[in-house]
Amino acid sequence: MDPTNTNNLVRIAILGASGRMGRTLLQLIADDGSLHLMGATTEPGDASVGQDAGTLIGFESFGVNITDDPSAAVAEADVAIDFTLPAATPGNVAACIDKDVEMIIGTTGLSPVEFELLERAGRKIAIVYGRNMSIGVNVITELARLAGRALGEGYDVEVTEVHHREKVDAPSGTALQLGEAVAEGRGVVFDDVACLDRTAAEGPRERGSIGFAAVRAGRIVGDHSIMIAGDEEIVEIGHRALDRTAFARGALRAARWVIDQSPGLYSMNDVLDLRRR
């Protein structure tokens, strides 16, 4: 945090302000006197460019005009919260490094190359990356890891996720996070055991594999479940998001935390102190 900021305000830039998560974050910032909006971006050509960010949520005024320039948006912020698209990630990260602004990144669907970019950026600024910022989801991720460790390959694992019809990536980032946690608990390489598509599969289920199923329908915010089935018992772990506010509150909790951290690439495990035993 900027040492000249002596009033304990957390100064935030929202990258992707016109999206679902961006609007939810704006509403929470408007309702919280300890948070101050310093900048907001949207994609080039969006009709909201040049308008006060408050117009996105029916708020009187933030005194901050929406821009398509991330560098301008983050210039006076302590931390930027990024819920955009993978294509925007390199430019957003570069802007934050240039302005020495910490980052919270909740963008899903990042490629290995884009994730390597975050790892390099973590040498210069503090970044929290999370496929899902919900506190509850990160708790069940730890439960999935513990279950994977305790329940071996004799148990079949299936991860199911359900989202609204407009969600693009499948399986969801959260579903992959849960599957990776099970694999880590078992001490196996996720890519070696993940079964993302069974449409071309032949023969019985492969022992030790982790299966995935994705459903897209209606306006469902997000349901995730893990079924770990043995011959004598079934363990089920699940989470249902009732409102996007759950994700936004987690992102803001991460924002308050990250401004006091040294450069590095962190996860919500670090934010929530879910230490691995």
Q: Please, how many CA atoms are within 13 Å of residue 37, restricted to the half-sphere of its CB?
A: 26
Assign domain 135-241 to its CATH superfamily. Answer: Dihydrodipicolinate Reductase; domain 2 (3.30.360.10)
Note the pLDDT tens digit of each residue in 22-72. Answer: 999 999 999 999 999 999 999 999 999 999 999 999 998 999 999 999 999
User: Looking at residue 276, what is its pLDDT?
Assistant: 58
List the alpha helices (DSSP H) in the chain. Answer: 20-30, 70-74, 89-99, 112-121, 135-150, 173-186, 190-193, 245-258, 268-272
* 10-129+244-272 matches 135-241 in fold: no
Q: Where are the domains of the chain?
A: 10-129+244-272, 135-241
Length of the chain: 277
Q: Band of the pLDDT at 17, cuts 50, 70, 90?
A: very high
Give the residue numbers marked as catalytic.
163, 167
Would you call 190 helix, strand, or coil by DSSP?
Answer: helix
Query: If one looks up domain 10-129+244-272 in CATH, what number appears?
Result: 3.40.50.720
Note the pLDDT tens digit of each residue in 67-115. Answer: 999 999 999 999 999 999 999 999 999 999 999 999 999 998 889 999 9
Note the pLDDT tens digit of each residue in 195-225. Answer: 998 887 778 889 999 999 999 999 999 999 9
10 Å Cβ neighbour count for 264?
A: 15
Q: What is the pTM of this model?
A: 0.86
Kindly state the average pLDDT of the residues 219-236: 97
